[in-house]
Structure 1
Amino acid sequence: MTDSPSCSVCGKSGEIFRCSGCKTRFYCGRECQTSDWKSHKRPCAAAPKWYDKHRVCSDGNNHEGRLELITWDCPEAEYGSLGWGACSSDEADDLKKKFETEFGGDEEKFFEYWPQGFRWTCCGTDAGMEYGCDHHGSGSQPCSCDFCGMGKPLPASIFNEKTPSRHGLNLRRGPDPRSFNRFAAIHTATSRTMMGLEM
């Protein structure tokens, strides 16, 4: 039988929660977590994260940001009002309850069930899409998106689109100068035109 965890700051036991970043520190409440943050911030950031194994994209690039559960509403979303977990507002409360009860608040387990409810902070891409990290120049590797490859910034309609996964992030519009390829740009522009995609 294992002992139940106690608060890493005051030693209190009972209702204890784990640091969502490193999973190694325990707290009895916000006050203890806040008081511990100055000394805990650096080791927490350096600790391996549960989502590290999900960083590699299908195009070979890596996400360099954090994987965050979307817990905010986006009433101005293009396809209607979206709520907690980036699902429709009328289903958000049920999804949140499922996360808390069925998954016990475990983000890693919930991610396997509902990846589209998470976002990568490096590019504002929802984690249900695995095609690449559209960081438009903020990453250590060249951006692999069509627009950066063509040497063009994101069109205003895409850059200004309201989505839960982009909410609150200060994202670049590009282009990433490292990504431009003159020959690939011609091919990409032709392909996007044929498929009726935005240029």
Structure 2
Amino acid sequence: MSSVALIDDHESVRLGLEAACARAGVGEVVYSGATVRGYLAWRAATQAPRADVVVLDLMLGDGATVTENVTALVADGSPVLIHSVADRPAAVREALSAGAAGVISKASRTDDVIAAIRTIAQGQPLENLEWASAVDGDHAFADAQLANREREVLRLYAAGLPLKAVADRLGIAYSTAKENITRIRVKYVEVGRPAPTKVDLLRRAMEDGLVDERRRDARDDAGTR
């Protein structure tokens, strides 16, 4: 029996997957929590073996990026199955680029999710419709050609942080953060998706899966720099 870790900031989703895993006999859920940091801290404190599969929600509520979460889990030695909504191909593509082993939509049948967990636990590739859509259909994000640092700056800035706070959070100079925002705006203009205001940047970030719509912060003064 494989060991499975569930990381999702919706407790109901975790409980449902845990019950499904037990019912199907696909694996023992050894950890269930809301953040990657929490899982890694639990591993360090308990010296528990790495999970054979980590089922990870794409957008968590702790502010960590998709790349940070997937990279940390892969470095820890576990294959990652992204379990999220299917309308964020750019974020899914980012997860796959960071080393995720596969992706399955939350709209999928429970049996399909269990089959995906089993496939990845066996070390086999999961090349399904969600994977193909992320790789082949993400033309807008690819055309924008945002670098990893630019994505991090955009995600934090578009979500509502002042630019100075973004710089402090990322450990970079304010001038560097400002230059990143300028380059981001230029790149979006070049692909026909202009973003002259902060509200426009929020829209672009949502379109590209960098900001979760349910946590967006579109204040009246969001157009200020």
Same fold at TM > 0.5: no
Q: TM-score normalised to the size of structure 2?
A: 0.30
Q: Select the structure that is richer in strand.
A: 2
Q: Select the structure that is richer in helix.
A: 2
